[in-house]
Each structure stands twice: as C-alpha cells, then as structure tokens.
A and B are shown apart, each in its own frame.
Chain A
Amino acid sequence: MESSHLRQQIAAMRQSFFDEEILDGQFCQLERLENRGNPNFVEEVLTMYFRDSTTLLQTVEQEIETDTIDLAKVDMMLHKFKGSSASIGANKVRNNITKTRQLLEEGNLEGAKLAFRELRMEHDNLRAKLEPYFQQLRQVGPVETATRPKGSDHA
C-alpha cells in the first residue's frame, strides 16, 4: 500500500543515514525514547538542535572570519556544539567539530577555517536530509516500531 511503500521509503532513507555515517547509534537511542506518549520526540529534539546549531554556527563563522578571533570563546562554543551533536547522533558533524577544534588549538587558522566550512556543509547536509525524512514520518503517522531495520541499533 501506499503507506507501506512510504514506510519502506522512510526506512531506506533512514538506513542510508547510517550507511553514510551521518548518523550513528546515538540516533537509535533517541528513537527508543519515543513512545506513544510523545511520538514526535525525535523530531522535537532535532528541531531544537538545529535551531541552536544554526545560531551557533553563524556566531562562530563571524568570529573566525575576524582578525582577532576569540579562540577561547570559539572553542567553548564548538565544544558545546560537539556535545549536542554527539547527543543526537550527528556523527559526521561531530567529527568535523573535533577536527576544527584541533586545528584551532594547533594554531592552524587557515586549516581551521577550512575545516569549519566543511563542518558547516555537513551540518546543512544533515538538515537537508532529515527534513524530508521527518516530513514523511509525519505523513505515515506513528507506527509500530517493528519495522525498524536491524543492525542500526547499537546497544
């Protein structure tokens, strides 16, 4: 049926996230927290995440493009961003954050700027991918979780 076809599509999308490693097992942890009580928990969390991350990235970008970068501030912000990204399972984003921070710490400003751009790209990419995913999820409505693909759960 349409719905099941849609579900399959959704499942495939989801699997691709894992395959591409833009999401990791932590995302599954979030999914497990969803239940009848709040069926859209994951989406809510992701929405909150992107809301903050967008602002944060803008701020960091501004900061690193200036001549006098407040390194401590940038590091602090990136650290925080790392925490939230890790908590939602945004794997590649988190890795990029780590890389950027490291380069900054090493004093490699140019390298850090490049890494940051990459980070930004990954972040935007993630959002671009998750948005339709959640949209479709909403379309099919809360469903039994039996359709969860195996193998993506890391216990």
Chain B
Amino acid sequence: MNSSSGKTYMSTSNCSTGRKAGDAAAAAADQFPVGLRVLVVDDDPTCLMILEKMLRTCLYEVTKCNRAETALSMLRENKSGFDVVISDVHMPDMDGFKLLEHIGLEMDLPVIMMSADDGKHVVMKGVTHGACDYLIKPVRIEALKNIWQHVVRKRKNEWKDFEQSGSVEEGDRQLKQSEEADYSSSANEGNWKSSKRRKDDEDETDERDDTSSLKKPRVVWSVELHQQFVAAVNQLGIDKAVPKKILELMNVPGLTRENVASHLQKYRLYLRRLSGVSQHPSNLNNSFMSPQEATFGPLSSLNGLDLQTLAATGQLPAQSLVTLQAAGLGQSTGKSGIPMPLVDQRNIFSFENPKIRFREGQQHVNNNKQMNLLHGIPTTMEPKQLAGLHHGAQSMGNLNMQVASHGSQSSQNNPLLMQMAQPQVRGQMLNDTSLGHAPRLLAPMGQPILSNGVAANVSTRNGIQENIRAPSYNPVSQTSSMLNFPMNHASELPRNSFPLGSTPGISSLTPKVAFQEDVNSDIKGSVGFLPSYDIFNDLNQHKPQNWELQNVGMTFDTSQHSNSLQGNLNHAHSVLVQQGFSSGQVNGQNRSATVVSKAMFSSGDSTGHVNAQNGNQHLNSLLVDSTVRVKSETPTNLYPDDFGQEDLMSALLKQQDAMAPAEHEFDFDGYSLDNIPV
C-alpha cells in the first residue's frame, strides 16, 4: 500500500518532501503511474492526512504541504520534482486559484483543485484558471487513482508543441480529449464510467508513447513572438481570437496551433487577472506573465498610469518585488532564455530608467513609444516622475514585476504592466525633461553628467531596443544621461568598488534587488555609472541620503555576487530614489537607479561603502577612473574596495568633465544573477 518511496513525512507546518526524481524515474517508466510525484496542498490537517494516505495507496509518491506559499517555493526550488499538484481552493495564506495560476505559469504542471464547495461558479473558476480537474470533497480514492491522466495529457500536449509537427489535428484531438476528460473528471461522482471510458481512450493513445519519459520541450515564447501573438490577437479582437486564426496571422513557421492555443489560454488568464483581480499584494504575481505581457494591449492602458499613480502606490514591497522577480525570473527561465532578459529589461524599464539598461530585449518589452520618450536623457524629472522613478527604482530591485503591481496597476499580476507603464511614463518625462534639464542637472553639479553612460542608458531605455552595449549617446549630453548606464558586457565595472552600494541606512527603500540580478545576468552589460553619478552628485548635495543609495547600487559585483548585488541594489534603489526625489531631478533618479543597478553589478568586490554624502567629488573621480577603465573594457576593479563613495563621486564628476561622451560605460558585466533571490 505504501508508495515506493517512504520519503514523505508529515510535518505540521512544512511541506514534507518526498521525492527523488532520479530513482523513481526508472521505476516510473515501467510502472507508470506508480511513483507519480504528487504535491498535495491543503490547510486542513485531517483532509491532508486522508489525501496523503489515499495517494500512497495509489502508489504515488506524495508530498504534503499545508501552506500554499511553502508549496510554491518547493515547486520553484525543484521545478521538475513533481508531476502533479493537488490543491485546496480555500487556504488562509493564499487563494488556491492564485496558486494555480502561478504554478501554471511558472512550472506548467497540471493542477487539480479541490474543495467542499461544489457550486458551479467555483468549479467554473477552477476551469477558467486552468485547473486540470476539480474534485469535490470528500475526495474518494477512485478519483485520485485517475489523476495521472492529467500528467500524461499535459506531457503529450507539450510534446506536440515541441515537435511542432504541425499536426494540428492531433493537437486538437488531444485538446478535445483532455477537455472531455476534464469534464468527466470533475463530475467524478456520477460519471465514473464515462471518465473511465475516456481514460481507456487515453490509455490507448498514451501507450503508444512512452508517457513516462515524455519530457516537455516547450515553445519559447520570446518577446518578439509574443508581440506578434498579441498583435494578432488584437487584430482579431480578443473575443474572436481563435488559435487557428492567430496562427495564420502570426505566420511563424514551425509554430503549431497547439502552441498558440495554450499560449492564448495563458494570455486570457492574464487579461482576466488584469481586469478584475484584486490585487492582493501577493508576491506571487505572475511575474511570468508580466514580462511577456508587457506589450499587451492592456499595457497601453497602463501607460496611462502615470507616475503619480505609481508613486502613489508607493513602494512595492520589496518582498513582493523580489518574489515577483523571482517568479518572473523563474518563469522566464522556465520558458527560455530570451524571455528572461526581456523580462528583466522590461522590468528595468519600468523601474524607470535604471533598469532600462537592459538590452534590446527590452525594446520588445517596452513600447516603442516609451522608448522614444526615454530617449532623451531624463535629466530632470518632475517630482512626480521622480516619484515614479522612485517607485520604479524600488521595484526595480525587486523585479519589475513588483513595480507593476505597485503601480497601482490593475493588478499585481502585472508587474510588467506596471513596469512598462512606468517606464513609459518616465520615458516621456524623461524626454521632455531630459533635454531640457540636462543642463540643469549639470548646473548644480557643475559636472557633466556622465552622459555617455547615461545617454547610453537612455537609449537603452528607450527602448531597450538598443543594445546597451552601444549606448547611443543622446544629444542630451552627458550631463543628463545619468540614467542609463550603458551596460556593456565588455567592460565590467563590476569590480568597481563603488562603495555606493552599501548603504545600510537606506534600508527603508530596500527593494530587494532581485531584479537587478536578473537583469544583470541577462544583460551582461555593464551599467554605466557615470551618468548616475552625476546625478548623485547633484542629489548628494541635496541629500546625503541619496548618496547612500547610490552607494548601495554601486557596490555590487555583478558577476560575482548576485547576493550582494541584491543587497546593494536594494539600498541603491532606495538611495537613488531618494535622491531623485530630493533633487527633484528625474535624472537623478534615473541615475540613481541606474547607478544602483550598475553599482550592483559592478562592484562585486566592494561592499559599497560609498558614502554618498560626500561623494560627489569622489564619485567623480571614481567615475572617471571607472569609465576610463570601462573603456578599456577590462573588467578591472576600478575602485578599490575601500574606495569611498566620495571618491567615486569625484571620479564621476571628474569624468564627466573630462570624458567624452562616448566613453562612459561602465560595463557592469557578469552580473551573475544566477542566484536570484527569491
């Protein structure tokens, strides 16, 4: 009766893990569905106990969990560690449907919902949120015996997608089968026979495949592809958009209707979330969706969101941001490499500038519109903007997603949207302001803004379309560019010891910079500090605190210490933000943001002791040095660890003066954002 593995154990507050994918794999292959790895989530211990026993009786490998959050983190830690998830609908820490969405987006595992509620609307909700099945409590063992069909079905669908065999018919058949099976399953009490019959059908087809070994190759929905998808959907009208037509419109060779269908389903969920969902500040927002959906139609509506709103929304809880990021990242990674960077970029974008540094991918992410706006160097931002930036900055750290969520955007789910919106807003502001303000910015500081870097950034921002690598210097001139630190992979500033990063004081703002890390990794560019420094300088003058923020950003060694980056970023963000606000300069913010991010990346070694306060001068010099180094593209440690912020500032300042725009590029390279803190 017991399942083969005795690894599950009861735990009152944790999830017990049971699995070992490797060993079971071999056995599973032959005896499928024996050894099916099930994760069951229910806050009621009695039900959990019963379910576990039932599942074990079915010879499944069971892991119990009584909290949704724990379940989600378990899943994230081990994406391929489970085959199917069974979850209760009503749980104290998170709504079951939310969990369902997250799992669907991030891990794409089949999820079975269950509840004592058998009201039609609840069941419908389960279906619309993407549940494979919906079981009514009390759950009978017969119902559980059959759950493996969902695993097989999903794998088959994925396999088909992967193969892109273009066997639309087959896909349809699969889809239909699964739908039928689902319906029958949900009414398991009464339709046992019919579902059994269906199961038999499934069996026949399944047996032909080596179901247990089906992996899931996925179609990678890159930003471009997704944009094409969205364009097609918008063209058709969301109501009329059917996979077949979308496929035709998209005209992507090798893409199957099945791919489109599943993506459409997710997109719909996403839209639904946007429109109606309440946002609870769940960290689990679909980070995944956000990035991809940045370009969604709704996004444009978000564009309307102005910074004010964003600002109003306040600070994205660092945590949420982080989680978002994590989630987003998780998702992206899950999907493909591309999305990730894109996401990051997007996120970056939303954060307002700093993040923009991301690569091209962003462009996709950001609306072109936005990009253009950002084009100018956002030298000065209106306070509102700043707020937005601030907001963004904060969120940036966490992950753009969060920003989105904060952004008072419709839903937390769309961090991206928010983000996008933010950047957009910013971009606009930036444009306007940047040009105009550039000189202004400079004025106070008296230092040329590291426009190069900024310019680069700005350009990046714009759209991230441009590769940060080749930052286009905006006409704005160095002074205003602060925001964009060109992220050049080649030159790594990272080692720079801009102490900026570490300002513990900033804690308040601490965005968890998870996002940065992500971004960095993708971007692999180095963020140019220069621009930010300038800003910082300015800001510094106004607010010592800002410096701290800056420092925070600065001290990350992107390549090495994603963790530290995170920390730094958080700080940096806060700092930056503050600065931005204080100085009322958008640029400043941007810079700070950018700086922060940069700092993060580059200053792996240095712990960011930049003391913003005095930093101006130092910063300049630092910048100068770093920029110089950057130019040479040698990832050297430009700044010794003990390099104070001041130095950095002066370096920056000096650099600004001295440097030609083109060279500012702190390449904060090698952000090793592998460890994205989740």
B-binding residues in A (CB < 8 A): 26, 29-30, 32-33, 35, 37-38, 41, 44-45, 48-49, 52, 76, 79-80, 82-84, 86-89, 155
Binding-face segment, B48-56, B266-274, B290-298:
B48-56
A82 touches B46 (CB 8 A): no
B141 neighbours in A (Cβ, 8 Å): 29, 32-33
* Among A48, A79, A83, A89, residue most surrounded by chain B Cβ atoms (within 10 Å): A83
Q: Which 3 A-B pairs have the closest CB atoms?
A: A83-B116, A86-B138, A84-B46
With known contacts A26-B140, A44-B49, A52-B44, A83–B88 Cβ distance under 8 A: yes
- The interface size bin for chain B is 20 to 34
How distant is the Cα of A87 from the Cα of B54 in the complex, in angstroms? Answer: 12
Contact of A35 (CB < 8 Å), options: B1, B47, B54, B138: B1
A84 touches B53 (CB 8 A): no
B43 neighbours in A (Cβ, 8 Å): 80
Please, what's the 1-or-0 string for B32-47, where 1 marks a CB less than 8 Å from any CB in chain A? 0000000000011111
Task: Sample 11 A-B pairs with CB under 8 A, ordered by A number.
Answer: A26-B140, A29-B138, A30-B50, A38-B53, A45-B46, A45-B49, A45-B50, A87-B138, A87-B139, A89-B138, A155-B142
Write the nearest CB–CB distance from B625 to chain A, whole angstroms: 61
> How many contacts A-B (CB < 8 Å)?
63
A-binding residues in B (CB < 8 A): 1-2, 43-47, 49-50, 53-54, 57, 88, 90, 115-117, 137-142
Please name 12 further chain A to chain B contacts, defined as beta carbons within 8 Å, in addition to the given A26-B140, A33-B141, A79-B116, sorted by A numbering: A29-B138, A29-B140, A30-B50, A44-B49, A45-B49, A45-B50, A52-B45, A80-B44, A83-B115, A84-B44, A88-B46, A89-B138
With known contacts A29-B138, A48-B45, A88–B2 Cβ distance under 8 A: no
A48 touches B46 (CB 8 A): yes
B46 touches A87 (CB 8 A): yes
B90 touches A76 (CB 8 A): yes
How distant is the Cα of A36 from the Cα of B446 in the complex, in angstroms? Answer: 84
A83 touches B137 (CB 8 A): yes
Write the nearest CB–CB distance from B119 to chain A, whole angstroms: 11
- Interface of A, secondary structure class, is helix
Write the nearest CB–CB distance from B263 to chain A, whole angstroms: 34
Write the nearest CB–CB distance from A55 to chain B, whole angstroms: 12
B2 touches A37 (CB 8 A): yes
Write the nearest CB–CB distance from B277 to chain A, whole angstroms: 18
A82 neighbours in B (Cβ, 8 Å): 116, 137
Residue of B at shortest CB range from A44? Answer: B49
Residue of A at shortest CB range from B139? Answer: A87
A49 touches B116 (CB 8 A): no
B117 neighbours in A (Cβ, 8 Å): 79
Write the nearest CB–CB distance from A125 to chain B, whole angstroms: 19
B137 touches A87 (CB 8 A): yes
* Among B44, B141, B142, residue most surrounded by chain A Cβ atoms (within 10 Å): B44
Write the nearest CB–CB distance from B255 to chain A, whole angstroms: 43
How distant is the Cα of A146 from the Cα of B620 in the complex, in angstroms? Answer: 88
A79 touches B138 (CB 8 A): no
A49 neighbours in B (Cβ, 8 Å): 46
A41 neighbours in B (Cβ, 8 Å): 53
Residue of B at shortest CB range from A49? Answer: B46
Residue of B at shortest CB range from A38? Answer: B53
Residue of B at shortest CB range from A27? Answer: B138
Residue of A at shortest CB range from B50? Answer: A87
A33 neighbours in B (Cβ, 8 Å): 1, 50, 53-54, 57, 141
A83 touches B57 (CB 8 A): no
Write the nearest CB–CB distance from B59 to chain A, whole angstroms: 13
Write the nearest CB–CB distance from B44 to chain A, whole angstroms: 5
Contact of A37 (CB < 8 Å), options: B1, B45, B115: B1
Write the nearest CB–CB distance from B396 to chain A, whole angstroms: 36
B90 neighbours in A (Cβ, 8 Å): 76, 79-80
How distant is the Cα of A38 from the Cα of B1 in the complex, in angstroms? Answer: 10
Write the nearest CB–CB distance from B115 to chain A, whole angstroms: 7
How distant is the Cα of A82 from the Cα of B117 in the complex, in angstroms? Answer: 9
How distant is the Cα of A29 from the Cα of B46 in the complex, in angstroms? Answer: 14
A52 neighbours in B (Cβ, 8 Å): 44-46
How distant is the Cα of A41 from the Cα of B46 in the complex, in angstroms? Answer: 11
How distant is the Cα of A23 from the Cα of B101 in the complex, in angstroms? Answer: 36
Write the nearest CB–CB distance from A54 to chain B, whole angstroms: 12
A37 neighbours in B (Cβ, 8 Å): 1-2
B138 touches A26 (CB 8 A): yes
A30 neighbours in B (Cβ, 8 Å): 50
Residue of A at shortest CB range from B2? Answer: A37
* Among B50, B54, B57, residue most surrounded by chain A Cβ atoms (within 10 Å): B50
How distant is the Cα of A37 from the Cα of B1 in the complex, in angstroms? Answer: 8
B54 neighbours in A (Cβ, 8 Å): 29, 33
* Among B49, B57, B88, residue most surrounded by chain A Cβ atoms (within 10 Å): B49
Contact of A88 (CB < 8 Å), options: B50, B115, B142: B50
How distant is the Cα of A64 from the Cα of B2 in the complex, in angstroms? Answer: 43
* Among A41, A87, A88, residue most surrounded by chain B Cβ atoms (within 10 Å): A87
How distant is the Cα of A70 from the Cα of B199 in the complex, in angstroms? Answer: 45
How distant is the Cα of A32 from the Cα of B141 in the complex, in angstroms? Answer: 9
How distant is the Cα of A120 from the Cα of B140 in the complex, in angstroms? Answer: 26
How distant is the Cα of A155 from the Cα of B145 in the complex, in angstroms? Answer: 13
Residue of A at shortest CB range from B52? Answer: A33
B2 touches A87 (CB 8 A): no
A155 neighbours in B (Cβ, 8 Å): 142
Write the nearest CB–CB distance from A93 to chain B, whole angstroms: 12
